[in-house]
Chain A
Amino acid sequence: MHVKILIGTAAATAVLAGFSSAALTGGEWGKYQVGDLRSGYTYAAPETRAIQDDDFENPAMLALDYGAELWSMKDGDANKSCADCHNDAEDSMKGVGARYPAFYEPWDKPINVELRINECRENNMKAKPWKYESREMLGMTSYVKYQSRDMPVNVDIGGPSTPFFQKGKAFYYERRGQLDLACKHCHEDNSGNMIRANLLSQGQSNGFPTYRLKWQGVGSLHRRFRGCNSQVRSTPFGYGSDEYVNLELYLAWRGRGLPVESPSVRN
């Protein structure tokens, strides 16, 4: 398959991407660049970008299709589907991907799309929550976020969300792990630089869930956080943990204005 061949050359193309992105500066990235903010798309290898550009080639679309299927499947003791209450996702879910994480009063804290979906499953459908990194959850999250495609990321960090946002920000700047590095050392101080065979991006969140060639599958933002924690030899936090939701809120704010790209494709 096309995608498999590409994986072998991913490292080499990452190097090439270093050159091509250096040549393309000054807002030449169209919708993928807003001022100094650049989506991970602009740091991906040209071949990787080509896969994302073509909805028929984009393997992440399989997850999306599965999400669409689940949308109208009845489940749980209430025997309801998402569609029974939310009707057409194109209308009811539009903007959700751009606004989340959002403050959720019943829990008195911000929650992300994954947690919101499980809240509906448990409370409104009386169904078992999906595992965070399951095919179901990734599919549904992709489908819900896709309804905001190309809308600018625009999270609310005011009011009751502010203290959570501050925690996410502190996390971003805190050194951790045996390598003693903070997110900012790689993604703020060194975006655009090669770290071995990888071109460091700004670590933006607007493309998640993402199909990563290295993973050979779709993964959540929290999976990426766990990878970025582990690679500096730091103990990762749990999927859907408060720490990661706060970080997700902060990251969305950093990337405010970038288009929702879910589901994206990355090296």
Chain B
Amino acid sequence: MFSGEREETLRTGRYLIPILGIAGLLAAFALASGDARAEELAKFMVKDGNSIPQSLTGRPGTPENGRKVAIDRKKGNCLACHAMPVPEQPFHGAVGPDLAGVGSRYDAGELRLRIVNPKYANPDTIMPAFYKANGLHRVLKGFEGKSLLSAEEVEDVVAYLVTLKE
């Protein structure tokens, strides 16, 4: 596309792969933490860089509330980038894949990882980490040290996504 730039992006990508390779190995069954004011965020385990098997709250979430959180522009705002089976809402984005059927493609642990921090799966992704609060640059006043979603909300969204079967 921008030929000069593209090359650069790829090069960054190549640095990232080895780094993440190591991080991924370490992360396999290592304790990661959501971080900052970290005390407040639950600790979680990343398995094989591809799954967070255990619930962040130790309890299953509520699918009905997960659907609401996903739609809410001030919370998940998933419709900004994804088409979803929520026909009552206009203007679904097309930046990411359609989430219809996503519960058949991934299990709960894999879905949780993709909500908590999709950069574990794809370091270059545009999709934000919904359960991360530090290591962020120049965060607007009032949002510093805060994750986009709470542990409960993440679990609710995961529970909702699991219901989206093919």
Chain A positions near chain B (C-beta within 8 angstroms): 11, 15, 36-37, 173-181, 184-186, 188-190, 193-197, 200, 229-230, 233-235, 254
Contacts and interface: CB of A to CB of B under 8 A. Distances in A.
B5 interface: yes
B17 interface: no
5 tightest A-B CB contacts, nearest first: A197-B91, A185-B126, A233-B140, A178-B143, A196-B80
Interface in B1-29: 1-2, 5, 8-9, 12
B80 A195 contact: yes
B38 interface: no
A175 to B, nearest CB: 6
B139 interface: yes
A228 B79 CA distance: 19
Contacts of A186: 126
20 contacts: A36-B1, A176-B138, A178-B136, A178-B139, A178-B146, A180-B129, A189-B126, A193-B93, A193-B95, A194-B94, A195-B93, A197-B90, A197-B91, A233-B139, A233-B140, A233-B143, A234-B139, A234-B140, A235-B138, A235-B139
Interface string B124-145: 0010110010001111110100
B164 interface: no
Nearest to B90: A197
A235 B91 CA distance: 28
B148 interface: yes
B128 A179 contact: yes
A186 B93 CA distance: 12
Contacts of B140: 177-178, 230, 233-235
A55 to B, nearest CB: 32
A194 B91 contact: yes
A37 to B, nearest CB: 8
A25 B63 CA distance: 42
A36 B80 CA distance: 25
A254 to B, nearest CB: 7
B100 interface: no
